[in-house]
Chains A and B, each alone.
Chain A
Amino acid sequence: MYWLSKTRYKIGLLLPSFCIYTVFILLPIAMAVRYSFTKYSGLGKPQFTGLQNYVRMFQDDLFWSSFKNTMIMFVLAFVLLLVLSFAIALLLNKKLKGSDLSKALIFSPAIIAPIIVGIIWVYILDPNVGIINGILDAIGAEGLKHQWIGGATLTPYSLAIVYFWQQLGYLVTIFIAGLKMLPEEVMEAAIIDGANEWQKVTRIIIPMMKSNISTVAILIITGVFKIFEIVQQTTGGGPNHLSETLVTYSYTMTFDSGDYGYGMSLATVTFIVSLIIVGIYSAFFGDKEEKKEAKARRKLAKEAKAAKKAAKGGAA
């Protein structure tokens, strides 16, 4: 495959993807940012209003409530998903009886459409017709009954649990794939050296699976900032927008209130917040070894290029 390594072929192969990515990802983002500085109803010409939408946003109680809900869901989902999906993957990676069935059961929510997930959980969480309050009623624990969804307090926590339930299987699968890739000789050496289970996990498995953990973490971060259908189906963002997330509030403002400019400013801030969180994660917890390797690879390539150039110059 010599011809594929030439720069012009690389460009030729990358160009279609780059064009599609530009047209369908970068351009819409640029347009959304542009509209965020305008007053626009979706019809006619947008009027440039400068930072007005952003000033309005920071004075908007509902923006802050949506932001708070999103962050509650993010923290809860991030902690639960990262820790438990890894723990479950470790468990399922052992050759235990029934582990294949368990894998299938844990993965099954991931193949259900999010809108159906919402419907299922309405029947579980609804304060009046839901299974949880029904069971609490049946066992005489009325005091533990709560407005799991539809109230102003518990809804974001409940929605984080729903998201956790939906995503768990998928993330467990990624971790299991990572565990399968670990070299057996390293694990055997650890056993010979007398490492216990905890030491194996903390000293060998976690360090060797850093890139898997990073992937999962970034999937969780980006996923939480895209939660939409679950909110729409369970509460519709209500009551009175109190269970909106940044994404659903942006949608409501854009399409229900016809305020495209403000809706796009909300979308832009959501995008920036998720980028910042991914950035913080990468800066503090990213795979530093991989970064070092990439840096070394870039340095080598640069040196090779310089050497080639020098050789060419010498030949001339």
Chain B
Amino acid sequence: MKTSVKKIVAIIAAMAMTLCLFAGCGSSDSASSDGPVTIKFGIHVANPAEQEPVTNQIVTDFNAANDGQYTVEFEAADTETHSKNMKLEAEDGTLPDIFWIDASEAPEYAEAGIIADLSGYLADNADIDEALNGMENAFNNGDMQYGLPYQCNVQGFYYNKALFDKAGVDYPTNATTQDEFMEMVNKLNAAGITPISIGSKNSAFAMWPFNEYLTRYGWDNLEGTYNTPEMVKCFEKIAALTEAKAFNDTVATSEYFDAKQAFLDGNAAMFGSGQWDCGACDEALGENVAFWWGPQFTDTDAPQEMAMKVPSAPIVVNAASMEDPAKAAAITAFLNYYYGPEAAATSFAGSIFPATNYADVAATETQYAMNSMIEALGDGWQSPTAAPDQTLSPAVQEALYDAIFGVIQGNYSPADALDKMDAAAAN
């Protein structure tokens, strides 16, 4: 072979290799004009079948019911990766058709015009609007309905009745006060039982029971500043729990999953979480598990009869997908199913409160944790529009998490913690 031919071959090979390098940057569209319309559902867990079995079941049922017409496929990643992916995909126009997004981030997507206004959808589907019973209001910014609740969250403390019995402590009730709670903590400690299991490592978001604290100190009335006398009192109650050694020693080096496991293994009397852990609690503790909102406070004028039954983070619809008639029809069909009575029944069966309310949908006798929640809800108390941590921008939300765990671990005084939130809000 002549040298010039060699050179040409080498140049072609180099170009081919360079092209191959960039081949992975392209995108593919899973929708086909012949087969079923496929829509992508971006979800915040890496393994939906294991970690979100109810949603996985709803999608499986929808696909079976619409075989040949519509298919929903998950685009799954853990919460942090999912959040990053959505931002990157929003920039390059490859967002999934429907996706879960943290409530703190959703308004930015709405402002950027990336997600669809679903008010028309709700107007066309009055039965679903009615079944949502106002839970969708948390995701309406006045200009548009930018999301619908993924589920209904019920947050507070799970407790292990067997450990309370062992320590000779009465079970908490809806009327239990902070002083009584402190007595409980002291008695549990005296019996050698860790009162509350909690973990902050990579999971500062696991502050769910303290959403009730914030609400009962008038979170919804805050105007501009977080360091207020009421909020200082609220954080002082959390600090008092630390002083009373209410938490496990491993707060800093435990993750949420470690803390949950410690509770499920019977190594702690209480665990702050939400309805998504009902199934795990039933499986590990059976009839020994029960649920409590948290204490009432006597040093504030804010309403105390508040139940933390709130919409979870929203699912939102990619505005670009709604411009494609075939995809829009598939998305509408999926939303109809997701917020319909069949999916609500699937949710209840999986110990998850759906975002919708339908008659004749209820938990079974052996769903102990869920029944305890239903019992706690039985007083018919009011609920805030959204959990306090879900009303903030990402930076202030992060500062709230940091503030609460800073007080729990004794690194911040209540006032310092709240100042840090104010500083984050100012930036």
Contacts and interface: CB of A to CB of B under 8 A. Distances in A.
Given A239-B252, A239-B411, A240-B406, A258 B105 contact: yes
Contacts of A242: 411
Contact of B252 (A3, A19, A238): A238
A28 interface: no
Given A235-B201, A239-B200, A128 B405 contact: no
A132 to B, nearest CB: 13
Contacts of B402: 240-241
B109 A43 contact: yes
Contacts of A232: 202
Most chain B beta-carbon contacts within 10 A, residue among A16, A122, A239: A239
Given A41-B394, A43-B112, A257-B395, A128 B87 contact: no
A195 to B, nearest CB: 51
Main secondary structure of the interface of A (DSSP, over half): loop
A257 B111 CA distance: 18
A126 B80 contact: no
A239 B405 contact: yes
Nearest to B111: A44
B398 A256 contact: yes
Contacts of B111: 43-44
A178 interface: no
Contacts of B90: 42-43
A16 B252 contact: no
Interface in B367-415: 393-395, 398-399, 402, 405-406, 409, 411-412
Interface string A187-208: 0000000000000000000000
B44 to A, nearest CB: 14
Interface in A26-68: 41-44, 56
Contacts of A127: 249-250, 253
A257 B108 CA distance: 13
Contacts of A240: 402, 405-406, 409, 411-412
A240 B406 CA distance: 6
B60 interface: no
Nearest to B201: A236
Given A43-B87, A44-B111, A240-B411, A128 B250 contact: yes
A235 B1 CA distance: 61
Interface string B84-127: 10010011000000000000110011011010000000000000
Nearest to A19: B18
A150 interface: yes
A238 B249 CA distance: 14
A151 interface: yes
A3 B18 CA distance: 23
A238 B200 contact: yes
Contacts of B399: 257
A43 B405 contact: no
A236 B202 contact: yes
B3 interface: yes
Nearest to B251: A239
Given A43-B87, A240-B411, A255-B84, A150 B253 contact: yes
Contacts of A262: 427
A150 B252 contact: yes
B190 interface: no
A240 B410 CA distance: 10
B56 interface: no
Contact of B114 (A43, A126, A129, A241): A43
Nearest to A258: B394
B250 A126 contact: yes
Query: In the complex, which of the residues B109, B111, B402 has the most CB atoms of chain A within 10 Å of its own CB atom?
Result: B402
B331 to A, nearest CB: 21
A231 B381 CA distance: 44
Interface string A229-257: 00010111011111000000000100111
A44 B411 contact: no
Interface in B200-233: 200-204
A257 B112 contact: no
Nearest to A39: B427
B253 A235 contact: yes
A256 B114 contact: no
A110 interface: no
B253 A41 contact: no
A239 B409 contact: yes
Given A129-B250, A259-B427, A16 B394 contact: no
A287 B201 CA distance: 44
B273 to A, nearest CB: 19
Contact of B21 (A20, A150, A234): A20
Given A238-B201, A239-B200, A128 B249 contact: yes
Interface string B148-188: 00000000000000000000000000000000000000000
A200 to B, nearest CB: 47
Contacts of A256: 80, 394, 398
A152 interface: yes
B83 interface: yes
A131 to B, nearest CB: 14
A81 interface: no
Contacts of B395: 257-259
B29 to A, nearest CB: 23
B240 interface: no
Contacts of B14: 16
Contacts of B84: 255
B114 A151 contact: no
B94 to A, nearest CB: 14
Nearest to B394: A258
B202 to A, nearest CB: 4
B108 A44 contact: yes
Nearest to B252: A150
Contacts of A56: 427
A241 B405 CA distance: 11
A63 to B, nearest CB: 13
A173 B17 CA distance: 33
Interface of A: 3, 16, 19-20, 41-44, 56, 122, 126-129, 149-152, 232, 234-236, 238-242, 252, 255-259, 262
Given A44-B108, A257-B398, 7 more contacts: A238-B204, A239-B406, A239-B409, A239-B411, A241-B402, A252-B398, A259-B394
23 contacts: A19-B18, A41-B108, A42-B90, A43-B87, A43-B108, A43-B111, A56-B427, A127-B249, A127-B253, A150-B253, A236-B202, A236-B203, A238-B201, A238-B204, A239-B252, A239-B405, A239-B406, A242-B411, A255-B84, A257-B395, A257-B424, A258-B394, A262-B427
